[in-house]
Amino acid sequence: MKAPECGMVHNAEVYGLEESIRAAKFPMAVDVSKITTELTPGIKALAQSPIGEGHDNALLGIVVQFDLTATNKFWVEMERYHFADIISSQSTMHRITKFDLDKSYISYVDPRMIEIMKEKIAEYNDSSPDRKQYLYLGILYSNPAGFRLTARMTTNYRQLKTIYRQRKEHRLPEWKCLCRWIESLPMSELITGETEHAL
């Protein structure tokens, strides 16, 4: 699946789409062997019901996995969504002195901040072992919020529906980018409630 041009999302996979559409028909079925995976108007209406009503439970079965590259600022906000599991991620705690800083920061980071970080890392690399811990913590705590890290995520359509509704007009460009990617998912109208999107 092709991600929007902002380049935050890579290696995305969607699982259980047809199976979950089929399962959404169980409550009204007598013979489950005759249920199809066709997206009917009724199932679409259930999926697009307001958040919190519970009629969209079938969306939980549509699992989405992807690599997400975003800034520290974005990750702090993403942590409020307890239903988006981080499978693994890059670590500033382990590797902050090893990153290519010129490639790691977004354009909003003041170049002077990047130079300060380079100076701090150079000082760390040239220091004695007894000073390294103190200097390392200084590097970690001084790192600007515009530093990008990649993590592998697992979530589902129901949770992406919440993210989409809450963040599609957010002032942080990364949220808008993620929402554009959500619009590119198969049958994204189940998440967004819309049938056409301007990608």
Q: What pTM value is reported for the model? A: 0.87
Tell me the torsion sign for CA atoms 160, 170, 2, 148.
negative
pLDDT at position 24: 93
Structure tokens at 73: 């600022």
| Contact (Cβ atoms closer than 8 angstroms) between residue 117 and residue 143 | yes
Helices (H), 31-128: 41-47, 72-78, 92-95, 101-104, 111-125
pLDDT at position 195: 66
Given strand 63-71, what is the order of strands in its sheet? Answer: 9-15, 63-71, 148-156, 85-89
Q: What is the pLDDT of residues 150-189, one digit of tens each?
A: 999 999 999 999 999 999 999 999 999 999 999 999 999 9
pLDDT at position 6: 79
Give dist(CA 101, CA 41) in Å, integer. Answer: 50
| Contact (Cβ atoms closer than 8 angstroms) between residue 98 and residue 125 | no
